[in-house]
């Protein structure tokens, strides 16, 4: 097992700050480059950016603290002064961004979710994302303190969010996050544990490679802040990651109107009961309604290959098919689980709740956006033929035109039942891809 340089990795990769309930997402745009760099420099000097080594230091867990993570869009890195030679080393999906037309088409961001309608990110104007996590009531003072540092970039948009026990539709969320070897504090089931290279650049991944890491010419780094690669370049990516942020507006009224009191239908759309209890285990009723149930030890191929318990198209089954690819791709169940582990996301979501809108700030880390987030979104969540289904998308996240409806197939030993009348319950209203550098790389960027 590789030892991770926790001193150089930003704290948010290690955990979701479950002890800090309040969050602010600050979306910034660089207008004065010199000022922005000095601001970034001070931010680092004043220890605003957490290191993974300290995040779960038990002495800090009870402090009245505020932790931060910072990441940059491709436009942001260009604005800081990275030239074309350095930028071409970044994967194309990051360079182009989430909002370009062909990517929006591929991700299913069409109709009401199309980037032109987004509140932020729709034209690639966001340069920096600063995420602050704080204990109850501390966020305003943190935001003010950061804004007071000279050179603070222009604030385009701010989203305040909080750690909630249930997402707005009423379900326990974030149960099946993977464990990362050497990074996440607790150990988990072996089939749910992945190599650090799936999320942190510079380490071996599930395929036995090191993910492609952006590098720059050594002349850009005269003070040798960055480690060197074998080929003699400066490694900008090491200990960094790519962060996907999407603001998902949830239409709670439409959802409640559709589901009504039918708890079984609600559970079938998600794949778990509201408590988190998996349908695969408890097909008839929630064993302990109102409580939390984080049971995660089940397989769809192993326990429910026909989808008679948890429908094949259910949200959780699409987003993480576990061993079920064995049912339609002809691979062995353990290989199916390995294949799925090439497409895992390390989620870091929070719930936002404003006067007229409620929803999820969906965030996830990947070492390879194309193979992880984009693949899950395109080939599983939004794929009309996922699991040999016909013409249906994710019951929660799927799109449909205004005044039209979608359906969900519920498999049954005799003949599948088709639940129709689903409308669009979730709309994307903002999003962008970010690069979350390691601490040394941040120093390099501040000195660029």
Partner 1 sequence: MQQHTVTFVTTLAGKAARASAESLLRAEQARIAAGQVAPWRAIEQLHFLSLFIVPAGVGGRPQLVLEANFDGGTFEFRAALVAQCRGFLDALYANCEGYPGPRAQASDARVREYLRASDLGYDVFFVSSPGRSTAQVEFERDLGARLEQRIASAGPVRGRRAPYIASLWAGLTAQDKERIQARSPRPWWTGNLLSRSRVAATLQLLLAAAVYLAFADVGAGCLTRPYPDCATLPPHAQALVEVLACAGIVLAGLALLAWFAILAHEFPRATRPRAWMRIVAFKLWDMARHLPMAVVWSIGVLTIIGVLAWKFWTLIVLGLVAGFAGLACLALVLGRIAAQESDMRVDEMNWSAAHMDGVRALEDRGAQNHFVSVTRIKPGWLRVATLRITLRAINLLWRLYFNPRGLSGIPSIHFARWLILPGGRRLLFVTNYDGAWGGYLTDFVTLAGEWMNAIWGHCRGFPRTYFLFFGGTRDEQRFKCYARDSQVETLLWYRRYPELTVVAIERNAAARADLARWAAKDFGARHGDYEAREEGIAEAKLDAWLRRF
Name the minimum Å distance from CB 165 to partner 1.
Answer: 35
Buried (b) or exposed (e) across 289-306, using 16+ Cβ within 10 A?
A: eeeebeebebbbbebbbe
Among 148, 253, 356, 388, binds partner 1 (CB under 8 A): 388
**Binding pattern for the stretch 275-304 against partner 1, x by CB under 8 A and - elsewhere:** ------------------------------
| Interface size with partner 1, residues (CB under 8 A) | 49
Residue 96 near residue 407, CB atoms below 8 Å: no
Spatial separation of the C-alpha atoms in residues 258 and 256, rounded to whole Å: 5
Q: Which is nearer to partner 1, 298 or 308 (CB)?
A: 308
Rg, C-alpha atoms of the chain: 22
Scanning 25-33, 48-56, 160-168, 329-337 for contacts with partner 1 by CB under 8 A, the matching segment is 329-337
Q: Which of residues 197-256 bind partner 1 (CB under 8 A)?
A: 207-209, 211-212, 215, 229-231, 233
The alpha helices in 70-168, defined as continuous H runs, are 74-80, 84-87, 92-96, 101-107, 139-148
The alpha helices in 21-73, defined as continuous H runs, are 33-45, 52-55, 58-61
Give, for 132, the enclosing helix (H) or strand (E).
strand 128-134
Spatial separation of the C-alpha atoms in residues 384 and 8, rounded to whole Å: 42
Name the minimum Å distance from CB 209 to partner 1.
Answer: 6
Name the minimum Å distance from CB 414 to partner 1.
Answer: 4
Scanning 33-41, 53-61, 118-126, 370-378 for contacts with partner 1 by CB under 8 A, the matching segment is 370-378
Query: Residue 361: beta bridge partners?
Result: 247, 350
Name the minimum Å distance from CB 107 to partner 1.
Answer: 9
Query: Residue 75: beta bridge partners?
Result: none
Q: On the CB side of 377, how many CA atoms lie within 13 Å of its CA?
A: 21
Q: Which is nearer to partner 1, 205 or 275 (CB)?
A: 205
**Binding pattern for the stretch 126-165 against partner 1, x by CB under 8 A and - elsewhere:** ----------------------------------------
Q: Which is nearer to partner 1, 130 or 381 (CB)?
A: 381
* 416 lines the binding site for partner 1 (CB under 8 A): yes
Give, for 417, the enclosing helix (H) or strand (E).
strand 417-422
Name the minimum Å distance from CB 89 to partner 1.
Answer: 5
Nearest to 371 by CA among 31, 92, 99: 92
* 378 lines the binding site for partner 1 (CB under 8 A): yes
Q: Which is nearer to partner 1, 354 or 379 (CB)?
A: 379
Scanning 35-43, 244-252, 279-287, 368-376 for contacts with partner 1 by CB under 8 A, the matching segment is 368-376
Place of tokens 């990516």: 237
Scanning 34-42, 62-70, 365-373, 429-437 for contacts with partner 1 by CB under 8 A, the matching segment is 365-373
Q: Which is nearer to partner 1, 49 or 226 (CB)?
A: 226
* 119 lines the binding site for partner 1 (CB under 8 A): no
Nearest to 211 by CA among 240, 179, 234: 240
Burial (CB count <10 Å: 0-12, 13-18, 19+), residue 228: middle
Residue 10 near residue 436, CB atoms below 8 Å: yes
Spatial separation of the C-alpha atoms in residues 90 and 436, rounded to whole Å: 13
Start-to-end CA distance of the chain, whole Å, equals 34
**Binding pattern for the stretch 63-102 against partner 1, x by CB under 8 A and - elsewhere:** ---------------------x--xxxxxx--x----x-x
Among 46, 141, 329, 354, binds partner 1 (CB under 8 A): 329
Binding site for partner 1 (CB under 8 A): 84, 87-92, 95, 100, 102, 105-106, 207-209, 211-212, 215, 229-231, 233, 306, 328-331, 339, 342, 368, 370-371, 374-375, 378-379, 383-385, 388, 390, 411-418
């Amino acid at each position: 097992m590789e030892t991770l340089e926790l001193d150089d990795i930003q704290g948010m990769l290690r955990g979701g700050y479950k002890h800090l309930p309040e969050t602010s997402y600050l979306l910034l745009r660089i207008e004065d480059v010199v000022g922005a760099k000095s601001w970034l420099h001070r931010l680092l000097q004043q220890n605003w950016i957490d290191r993974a080594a300290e995040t779960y230091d038990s002495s800090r867990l009870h402090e009245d603290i505020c932790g931060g993570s910072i990441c940059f869009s491709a436009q942001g890195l260009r604005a800081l002064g990275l030239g074309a030679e350095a930028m071409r080393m970044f994967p194309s999906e990051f360079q182009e961004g989430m909002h370009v037309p062909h990517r929006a088409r591929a991700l299913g961001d069409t109709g009401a979710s199309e980037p032109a309608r987004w509140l932020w990110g729709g034209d690639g104007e966001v340069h920096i994302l600063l995420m602050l996590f704080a204990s109850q009531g501390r966020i305003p003072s943190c935001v003010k303190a950061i804004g007071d540092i000279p050179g603070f970039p222009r604030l385009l948009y701010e989203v305040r969010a909080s750690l909630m026990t249930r997402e707005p539709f009423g379900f326990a969320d974030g149960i099946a996050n993977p464990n990362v070897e050497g990074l996440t504090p607790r150990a988990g089931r072996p089939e749910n544990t992945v190599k650090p290279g799936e999320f942190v650049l510079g380490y071996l991944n599930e395929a036995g490679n090191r993910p492609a890491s952006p590098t720059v010419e050594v002349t850009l780094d005269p003070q040798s802040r960055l480690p060197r690669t074998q080929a003699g370049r400066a490694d900008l990516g090491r200990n960094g990651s790519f962060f996907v942020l999407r603001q998902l507006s949830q239409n709670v009224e439409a959802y409640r109107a559709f589901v009504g009191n039918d708890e079984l239908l609600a559970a079938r759309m998600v794949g778990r009961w509201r408590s988190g209890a998996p349908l695969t285990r408890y097909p008839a009723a929630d064993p302990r309604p109102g409580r939390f149930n984080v049971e995660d030890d089940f397989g769809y191929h192993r326990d429910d290959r026909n989808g008679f318990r948890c429908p094949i198209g259910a949200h959780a089954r699409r987003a993480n098919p576990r061993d079920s690819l064995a049912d339609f791709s002809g691979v062995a169940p353990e290989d199916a689980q390995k294949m799925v582990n090439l497409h895992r996301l390390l989620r870091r979501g929070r719930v936002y709740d404003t006067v007229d809108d409620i929803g999820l700030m969906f965030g996830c880390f990947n070492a390879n956006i194309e193979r992880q987030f984009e693949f899950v979104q395109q080939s599983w969540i939004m794929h009309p033929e996922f699991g040999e289904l016909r013409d249906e998308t994710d019951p929660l996240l799927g799109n449909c035109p205004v005044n039209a409806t979608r359906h969900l197939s519920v498999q049954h030993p005799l003949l599948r039942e088709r639940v129709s009348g689903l409308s669009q319950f979730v709309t994307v209203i903002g999003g962008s891809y970010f690069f979350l550098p390691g601490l040394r790389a941040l120093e390099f960027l501040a000195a660029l």
